[in-house]
Amino acid sequence: MKKNSNMKIQNQRMGTVITNSDSSNMRAAMDKVAESLTHTISPVAKEDDTPIDKSVLIRTTEAERERWKQAAAAEQISLSAWIRDRLNSAASKVLDCEHPESMVRRYPWSVTCTKCGKRLS
Ligand SMILES: [Zn+2]
């Protein structure tokens, strides 16, 4: 995180704005925001019952965040669920091979896709 940058934290539920000119106060500011949040969504992923207990803090513009919220609302899911779905799809495209079995070569030491070169095991 850039030092001495002006930090502005918007709590979307409470409408609280905390302005911080010193990044050393970031932790205290985040704690204050966290205290005012109420958990309204299921704390486990529905697919495999894994606890959803990790957070990713990202920066974005107000316009982008509003569009993401609109998209999530249109699909009647939480913003967190909407973002997780999109990021899981993007990660899958990067990390997983989607080519047919005929393109997979199996060796005693590895299983590799001949199309994308990804090592599958
Ligand atoms: Zn492949």
Confidence at residue 35, expressed as pLDDT on a 0 to 100 scale: 63
Based on C-alpha coordinates, what's the Rg of the chain? Answer: 20
Q: Calculate how far, in angstroms, residue 121's C-alpha sits from the geometric centre of ligand 1.
A: 12
User: Among the ranges 16-30, 44-58, 86-100, which has the highest mean pLDDT value?
Assistant: 86-100
Residue 3: exposed, middle, or buried by beta-carbon count in 10 A (0-12, 13-18, 19+)?
exposed
* 8 pLDDT tier (thresholds 50, 70, 90): very low
* 97 pLDDT tier (thresholds 50, 70, 90): very high
pLDDT digits (tens, 9 = 90+) for 40-65: 555 666 667 889 999 999 999 999 99
Q: Calculate how far, in angstroms, residue 35's C-alpha sits from the geometric centre of ligand 1.
A: 46
Mean pLDDT of 70-97: 95
